[in-house]
Chain A
């Protein structure tokens, strides 16, 4: 279990997260939603320690995450940032870098690391593209390559910051199905989302952030039945008879 205990963090003088306490479980896909600037990305960066906390702590399986070294943190939690570059390397080379925190100087990837990278590409369904340079791939496939890298990192939790950005609806659904698959394999998936129906239809739980605090964190059906979305976004999510969610603009 990954727990945030009264976490506050921000940039310089400005405090973005204000005493956030919540938990994320392994084997579950959690979507974090909220308006622009409410602290969704800040929450992920705070968990990882990229952004130092002004107060509170992050606990993973009973251990204070930020008392660990960067390498140790990277063995517990993988993170895919929002703005990803297209590095000049092949898919396999990038996925192999998921093994980076597991090695010490001078870092040389061994056959065992290569096998883990191949398996990760297999799980994500991009093994046949192993030799392809990343810049030759579509945005959706490149996103999958990043996810394979996070998978090769072999962590219990994977944090993703708006992974569906720039993807068409077909690739968005494909990506969400992949995240569900990873959650079903026991990973704790925590992803920042903007598309509410996508978040509600695929997630086990949804965390709603407003002004730096988690105002709701529950199963989609529970959030759907409350007024929190109306208060935060001014919209209402409806649940269809086929258990799918949609909302009107």
Chain B
């Protein structure tokens, strides 16, 4: 009997993982080292070794830079993976949490929470998730019920974004004390992040990510189309809801920490796919690694470029990300395939 033995190239994927991990480590180290206060690594380490937790160096490290860099990493990973999942489930590479209104849904929920006095913790994350989930389900059901084309889904998302934004602005107009609805929140920003916001979001992101990894084949089978996936024994309706739920959990957790950070959910999955990474079992972890690294680097730049003044990270991301995104689209000779 003829035996077919051939292995797919693994070196390339290993190299991509290597680059992603390197970017992640580099971004984390730079995030810890660099900042407006100009504290050196040796100062921080010596204070830490001495156990002098009241020293300014240790306080800056533990309560300013560490939560900030961790939130950059976590939100970057969450939004990038959320984008990859939404794109897979809707079979639409133009989709991302910010474009189809998922972030805006989470944002509205956060604003409502803030209006009612909740400024952090599990309840904020929970409401952000509910806002994100309701929005993504609305888009998904509408797309299926009316057989909307891929372009129409995006247009519905744009309309939904405008509507949710208008509702948010209305809440602010009648309740100006809602501190969360600052420009920083709209653009995306880590400057005021606290452990109270970060810890629930981190737990949600980590658990969701681990579950997603176990469902990577299901996500790939969904891209074969509804009927073919059913022919392979999949309960497609159930799986679609499960994936959208996880996508909303990730986006909601991120928005509850950093606001309406856009672009990363669109840019990172595209960039990773352009490296010929197609299987979700690699796409999801690589989106997490590159998304984390990218946002963390952008946040560090946001802190140091005009130090002691800070820019919201969303601005830096747009400055760096937009030209890069256009570059990878042009280099790929039009990102229209399957779009």
Contact = CB atoms under 8 A, between A and B. Distances in A.
Q: Do A and B interact?
A: yes
A153 B9 CA distance: 25
Interface string B114-151: 00000000000000000000000000000000000000
Contacts of A87: 220, 223-224
B233 A74 contact: yes
A109 B276 CA distance: 20
B233 A70 contact: yes
Interface in A45-66: 45, 48, 50
B241 interface: no
B60 interface: no
A186 interface: no
A106 B269 CA distance: 23
A153 B232 contact: yes
Interface in B74-128: 91
Nearest to A121: B4
Contact of B221 (A100, A106, A146): A100
A103 B234 CA distance: 12
Contact of B224 (A72, A97, A105, A131): A97
A88 B8 contact: no
Given A81-B228, A90-B278, A73 B220 contact: no
B338 interface: yes
A106 B215 contact: yes
A93 B278 contact: yes
Interface string A61-88: 0000000011111110011110111111
Interface in B263-291: 273, 276, 278-279
A43 to B, nearest CB: 14
A201 B37 CA distance: 82
Nearest to A155: B231
Contacts of B227: 45, 50, 79, 81, 83
A108 B217 contact: yes
Contacts of B215: 106
Given A50-B227, A70-B234, A88-B273, A106 B220 contact: no
B337 interface: yes
B278 A119 contact: no
B338 A79 contact: no
A33 to B, nearest CB: 21
B6 interface: yes
B310 interface: no
Contacts, number: 102
B278 A88 contact: yes
Interface string B277-311: 01100000000000000000000000000000000
B50 interface: no
A84 B215 CA distance: 22
A48 B233 contact: no
B333 interface: no
A46 B227 CA distance: 12
Question: A70, A92, A122 — which one has the most chain B CB atoms within 10 A of its CB?
Answer: A70
A127 B8 CA distance: 12
Interface of B: 2-6, 8-9, 91, 214-215, 217-218, 220-221, 223-225, 227-228, 230-235, 273, 276, 278-279, 337-338
17 contacts: A50-B227, A70-B230, A75-B233, A80-B228, A81-B227, A81-B228, A81-B231, A90-B278, A93-B279, A97-B217, A97-B224, A100-B232, A100-B233, A103-B217, A105-B214, A118-B4, A127-B6
Given A71-B233, A93-B278, A119-B4, 16 more contacts: A45-B227, A73-B233, A89-B220, A89-B223, A97-B221, A98-B232, A100-B233, A100-B234, A107-B218, A115-B4, A118-B4, A121-B4, A130-B6, A131-B9, A135-B337, A135-B338
